Amino acid sequence: MGVVYKIKPEIVKFIEEKKREKPTLSCRSLVSLVEEKFQAKLSKSSINSIIKNASLSMPVGRRRTKPVSTKVKPSEELKAALSAAAESLKLVGPPPAEKLEEKKTIGKPIRLPPTPVPEKPIELPQKPEAEKPAEAPAEKPEEKAKPVSLPVQPEAPVKPEAEKPAEAPAEKPVEAPPEKPIEKPREIPPVTPPEEEIPVPVEAKEQLPKETETTGAILLGAADYLMGGSINLEKEIKTHLGRPENDLLTKIKSLILLPLFGTKETDVSALNSLIERDFSLDIILALLYELQIIKRLDISLSPLISSLMQEVRGVKASLSDGSNIYLDGQFHTVWSTAHIPCDFNTTIYTAESYIREYFIDGKPFVLFLAPGTDTPSNEFFKFLSGFAAEQTKFIKLSLFGNKFEEIEILPVDQDRKRNFIFGFLPGQFSGYRKVKKIGEYKPFHSEPLDRDFFLAPIELDLSQPSAAQTITLNGYALKTSLGDKIRLVILSNLPQETPPGEIADIYLDQWPNLEEAFEDYNRKIEFFTYTASSQRFFSTEAMKLNIGKSPDIKALLDNYLKALDLYVRWHFLPQGFEDKDFSMVKEMFYSLKVTLKKEKDRTKATFQIPQWFQFRNDLEYACRRLNERVITSSDGKRLWFSV
């Protein structure tokens, strides 16, 4: 035990007040609170001593908010399996030899008849205690269906209580549970447990306050979103489960990120805030247990994850006149060659999403900047002409990788006119532009940036000397104050009746960092110019992450988590973090406290850093780069990062 009398009285008082306000606070949590407020490092034993002296210790044993029906109490064997899983997030090994044939049946459910429930595989999570009620032996046909609910116990939260949110707390009588398991297996035999078993994730999501707390693991969640990892894993796992699984996507996200949050029930609250669900640790581990016993699932998932790691270096646009132009993976600008800096790479999933939005769904194509400074390039003029779909048209788009290999070819509608928006710096093409007119500056509030600007309509002619072409473009000049110089000109071919605020909002929502983004863009180009011959690029193989050689599902997910960390270090953090260690970056960034605040059209993720934090500039840089990617949370709202 700690020696309490040596601790400052104000610290003792602070600990007692916090424990009275929230009795469930652990000693570990109080250690963090004291360190943050007083910059004093106390041991957990000292904290525990203060709590005991103040008679504030919680009663021994697990606390419950309502009686737990014997109908849903897990067997001792299932408890042992989940407990072993929690120790290292590695569940028990292969099933006994006599049950091997039964588990193969679970691994190939598609071949089974309409009621694919064999009698003995049900014993995997085993539910002897669930058969204790007296009426269970009387209805043996129903008993076969009942045990199926336990292997999939995690997924039940969505449907049952969503139908009866108000009745859940009131269902104290014990007679209700025996009736419902008898009905439900008839409707959905493999998945339905009693209504009272598990809290409802959907209801929990609705009850989440507007501001919640999570951790810097949200950076890894952003990388997973850009890779499309969880989404593609969900699709593949569904084909192997052969049955419905509610909230499967969020459970997969939980399994991937769980090692960062710990293996105690109290550790998962920050994870639940991040995934916007209220899962218990047992629910998450039960899914992992089930995935581990599906034969050859890891062999199916390994090549899938490896393919998600491959990056798109650029997009080759083939035009109707036989020429080609190039775009970098993140759509900063137009290039005349495929030799594009690898810093502008993106994932296959994100590149395909961009093309679908801009070339198929009809959203305005948002380019960061017109290429060059002195003379407008011929390729840029062809690019703009292709959007008009008149003399020059887009025929197809090809994605290519770091070694200029062709990854995928995407045909496009040649005759479709498309819209574009791009940025234009005041100093660009001074000898080849002519401002025809500029209007009055009026105040404008940017919703994406929550910042005030001044906009004036502008029309200018832009000439390309070698092609002897001139085009007229309309847009808006942007200032930060009336007395300031023009910071940016936003040009577009959208109809002139489009509100100026809408055009500016679309551009700033994609490229919100103005001059800083241009400086970062130039710095990366300059670095590439000097190191092109020896430049490295993001690669899990180069960093010795052999995803394809993972021995099981748990190892596969662990390797995928490390790949997400590598992606964060490579693409979001400043240069130099590529070679840092995962544990170091976890301590520096992933363990930080983050508040999530829901607003009208976005969720603000704000890092709460202590006064002694030394990496603020690096973290702010990461937030700026993240805000240049459209990343959304599970409710579809845009995530906005800040410090």
On whether both 153 and 33 belong to a single domain, the answer is: no
Q: Cβ atoms within 10 A of the Cβ of 105, count?
A: 16
On whether both 480 and 342 belong to a single domain, the answer is: yes
CA-based nearest residue to 418, from 348, 471, 492: 492
Range of the domain at 402: 314-525
On whether both 16 and 126 belong to a single domain, the answer is: no
| Mean pLDDT across 515-526 | 88
- Measured in degrees and rounded to the nearest 5, phi and psi for residue 304 equal -65, -50
On whether both 359 and 464 belong to a single domain, the answer is: yes
Side chain identity, residue 38: F
On whether both 330 and 407 belong to a single domain, the answer is: yes
Paired strand residues for 433: 462
Distance between CA atoms of residues 425 and 498, nearest Å: 22
158 three-class SS: coil
Q: Which tens digits make up the pLDDT trace of 527-571?
A: 888 776 556 666 666 556 666 666 788 888 888 898 899 999 989
pLDDT given at position 542: 57
pLDDT given at position 626: 93
Query: Longest Cα pair distance anywhere in the chain, in angstroms?
Result: 92
On whether both 506 and 394 belong to a single domain, the answer is: yes
pLDDT given at position 545: 62
On whether both 473 and 333 belong to a single domain, the answer is: yes
Q: How many domains does the chain divide into?
A: 3
Tokens of 313: 């270096």
Domain membership flag for residue 633: no
User: DSSP E strands: which ranges in 337-415?
Assistant: 346-347, 365-367, 394-400, 406-411
pLDDT given at position 54: 77
Higher pLDDT residue, 544 or 164? 544
Mean pLDDT lowest for which of 12-16, 126-130, 448-452, 467-471? 126-130
Percent of the residues in the chain that have a pLDDT greater than 90, as a whole number: 16
Domain membership flag for residue 216: no
Domain membership flag for residue 262: no
Percent of the residues in the chain that have a pLDDT greater than 70, as a whole number: 71
Distance between CA atoms of residues 61 and 65, nearest Å: 13
Distance between CA atoms of residues 447 and 157, nearest Å: 37
pLDDT at 133 over 80: no
pLDDT band at 266 (very low <50, low <70, confident <90, very high): low
Q: Which tens digits make up the pLDDT trace of 429-483?
A: 888 888 898 999 999 888 778 889 999 999 888 888 887 788 888 889 999 888 8
The model's pTM is 0.65
Domain membership flag for residue 142: yes
Angle CA 149–152–153, to nearest 5? 70
On whether both 27 and 155 belong to a single domain, the answer is: no
- Measured in degrees and rounded to the nearest 5, phi and psi for residue 515 equal -60, -35
Domain membership flag for residue 45: yes
Q: 78: which residues sit within 8 A by CB, 6+ positions away? A: 125, 126, 127, 150
Give the orientation angle of helix 553-571 with respect to helix 218-227, to 10 degrees.
Answer: 100
pLDDT at 608 over 90: yes
Domain membership flag for residue 300: no
Mean pLDDT lowest for which of 23-37, 248-262, 422-436, 477-491? 23-37
471 three-class SS: strand
Higher pLDDT residue, 272 or 98? 272
On whether both 324 and 380 belong to a single domain, the answer is: yes
- Measured in degrees and rounded to the nearest 5, phi and psi for residue 508 equal -70, -25
On whether both 414 and 495 belong to a single domain, the answer is: yes
pLDDT given at position 548: 60
328 three-class SS: strand
Of 490, 525, 560, which marks where a domain is finished? 525
Instruction: Share the mean pLDDT of the chain.
Output: 75
* Residue 163 host element (H or E): helix 159-163
On whether both 385 and 448 belong to a single domain, the answer is: yes
CA distances for 200 relative to 234, 280, 282, 551, angstroms: 21, 11, 15, 34
Domain membership flag for residue 24: yes
On whether both 465 and 319 belong to a single domain, the answer is: yes
Domain membership flag for residue 60: no
